Structure 1
Amino acid sequence: MRYHVRLSDEERKTLLKIVSRGSAPAKTIMHANILLAADENGTGGRKSEVEIAALFHVHPQTVHTIRNQYSEHGLQAALGRKKRETPPVEPKITGEVEAKIIALSCSSPPSGRSRWTLRLLADKAVELQYFDSISYVAVGRLLKKNELKPHLRKCWCIPPEQNAAFVACMEDVLDLYQQQYCRLYPVVCMDEKPYQLLGENRTPIPMKAGRPECQDGEYVRNGTCSIFVFTEPLAGWRHVTVCERRTRVDWANQVRELLEVYYPKAKKIRLVMDNLNTHTTASLYEAFTPDVARSLAKRLEIHYTPKHGSWLNIAEIELSVMSKQCLERRISSINFLRLELSEWETARNKKQKGVDWQFTTDDARTKLKRLYPQLRVNSVIVIRCKSF
């Protein structure tokens, strides 16, 4: 059966515009060229399907199909594939089922498992008859869409809600950070970190092209030590000391060195640190004579960070940087550790500027409102006295 293509003037203009612009899909442009070549009203005369197919390097059946589409369904059907009329498929995961899977992923994992996996969630969803069957890939897409990551767990200091003691210490430290720099009354932050000394049981294999350094999993334990860090945020200064233990006497010796060696002219040092059992002026009396201890204590103004609020101590930033840049390896002896930390301290004091602390008391009262106790305003009777 021969199908006739007789284009109207409007249809011919439409096809010429598609061909000349070249912005349509390649398939649409090809169909437009075939229709223009097959037009019986055109100036080029009638061409057979074989001639048109050879002209555009297609099969004659393709030309026949395009002519058929134009004759039966019109121009738009001939330019593109006709849409299949299929009934809509209902989604397998409805909003109700999605909410159930989200709640399941936020619940405690099964006994004997530390966390939920995608396969565990898929199997549990089938067990609870949410579906007849579901792939763990579909569960993964659902969790990704809702930004849920049950395989991750972050360690964080979670402060108690509505805690007056936490708020009091927090605002005290935040107000201190907002004060202007004063050479005679410097603000110094202090923190400490335990460190395990580890030696190599076998010599590591050096790195080569295409192969990283190979380190044996077996190591030698050489004891532990304690690292003390002092930093003055506004001056961009820090000092690191390694001690064999973490006792009251060790802390007292570090404070005395801070006062007499590094800040001999300061009238008073405002010291920010965690509220540990060794971080008290009583430690000074255990280490020194009463007159020395008292003279040191008079030059200290101690500001404690709240419990579960160590993020308020700027020395924590220095400890974190120090751990990443210097301590993430095996160090076998305390002497070598002291040498390495001394080099790190010197380099960082030369390059690193002061810390620009941005979090203020006003920010805390807005963003950490849940930490503040609810005010209970008692009814007050106001008596107005008329003056005569």
Structure 2
Amino acid sequence: MMMKECTITKSDQRTHGSRRNNRRLRTRLIAYMASVLLAASMLPAHGDREAAAAEGCRTDNHGIRLTADTSGESPHFTSIQFLNASTGRAAGNGFMLGTSDGGCHWQSIYSGKLDFAQMDFVTNSLGYVLARATPEGPATLLRTANGGASYKPVPNGGNRFARIDFRSALEGFGYAVNDSSAYYTANAGVKWSKLPTPPNTRGTQFFSPKEGWAVALVPGGYQVKRTTDGGRTWTTRLQASSAAGVGGAVYGADSRDVWALLYGGSGMSQTSYSLFHTKDGGASWKQVVSNATAGGGPAPGPAMKAGKLPGPPGRPSDMATPDLRSAYLLTGSGAMDTLSLGRTLNGGKSWRNGSAPTGFEGALSFPAAKSGWLAVTSLTGSAVYATRDGGATWSKTFAIPSD
């Protein structure tokens, strides 16, 4: 049987090659479209993604079990610090927590004997803390290079600090009890230099080794003084009368733009106080708050008609000044288990008082004008709250169950 000869021309070769290429292209295209459709089917719609993200933010203890410290005291928050809108820490008696998504999720960083009085991180990994190893012991200055997991002592030159303020990994300030004296280091605590302060100082804040402010007690009230030469000379920039001067504090985002908080008397769980603001290094001042009370008496400064410049009720607890236009003042009343928050978003031109989550102690951290966090301790537990609208509303991000 003879087979018929078959011949393929060049034209036929081109046709067959084109068909093979087309089949390959169709196969690849079908596979690609199938993968796209499969990926799309696995993603929720935009609204569903937002709902899923919201549902993923916990408001409980995030599965972190916190126990009573060595003295038997229930766990509670004592310090909070956010470096930006996402990264922050909250610490208390025997623990430190961290978040990298604005408080949506928290993780345990440290668990042990340290009772954290203050945190001052300059980067996400490098920070300084004041902490007690025993409930009744003095606060010790410690340094961490791994985000807070472990610590090493920092030399303090024999000084006991009640507050610290590090401006960089190397430069920082330490303040004694009642802010009566200030110290400066340029080498991460290897050496400390005492910065001269006025007699009877009861409030100090340095912004650089040269620029600083002090609140001094004088007969009849207060003097708020400024130095531009590292404390060698001080100039009185504000005088305020007070029948019961006990101390004050200076806050600010810049050495020329500061807030002076002055305390009056206290009584019946009430404290009188005043808040002054300057934008020009003390050449001129505006009294923003004059909060006289029945128990504490007149507020420091010029006599004001009752209710003319009201501040949030209670004793001032903490203040935050994230920039030159915004400032927040937290007050509390232990007897009433009530916190209140006052604020300005326009450099003190107007002031608004509002409520805060229930509690008798609180600590603020505002890394931006309207984004802030509040650590609260109340009679029913301790928790961390977040705000995205300048304190108008608060949402819980972590809660320590009450015993």
TM-score interval (norm. to shorter)? under 0.3
Larger Rg: 1
* More strand per residue: 2
TM-score normalised by the chain length of structure 2 = 0.24
